[in-house]
Amino acid sequence: MDDTRREIITDVSVLIGALIVLFYVIPTYIDLEQEYDLASLSPAFFPKIATWLIAGLTSLHLLIIARRKESLGPVEGEEWLSSGEQWKALACCLAIIVYFFLMKVIGFIASTILILAFLFWFQGVKKPMKVALTSIMVTAGLYLFFLYVMKVHFPKGVLFE
């Protein structure tokens, strides 16, 4: 994607987000029924300032980008991740989200062994024995350290509680 186009899409998205916060989120999720003598006493005062600033600055950035006659050129893949690598990173994000929900159901130990095994395999560790052993050892080590040294009790999961 062209860098200018990406910047415009980002700015428009941020601007829409800021307007939603200003005209929906703040009136809905801050109690504005009480009237205040001074605007600065209102709980919405500071969130509104911050959001207006976001909207204003994004508009300014959008204006600068839109008025720029020359395109910024293509996005440089060498500096960041290539398209394939970005999908790989997103797959890891998804795995971490799944891990979170899995932890709630089957508990810390089982879900951690599973996520570690998946990530090791996904990162190119192909020997099943190495994947299994490393996942189990890391999970056990961390679990025992936090349980006995830090006195942290990890979730057991709704299935085992």
**Cβ proximity of 157 and 114 under 8 Å:** no
Question: Which positions lie near other proteins, rule CB under 8 A?
Answer: 6, 10, 14, 21, 25-26, 29-31, 38-47, 49-51, 53-54, 57-58, 60-61, 64, 80-82, 84-86, 88-90, 92-93, 96-97, 99-100, 103-104, 112, 115-116, 119-120, 122-125, 134, 138-139, 142, 146, 150-155
Nearest to 103 by CA among 144, 143, 158: 158
Find the shortest distance in angstroms from Cβ 119 to other proteins: 4
Find the shortest distance in angstroms from Cβ 71 to other proteins: 14
**Residue 1 token pair:** 């994607």
Query: Residue 59: which H helix or E strand, with range?
Result: helix 45-67
Find the shortest distance in angstroms from Cβ 100 to other proteins: 6
The length of the chain in residues reads: 161
Place of tokens 């052993």: 133
Find the shortest distance in angstroms from Cβ 58 to other proteins: 6
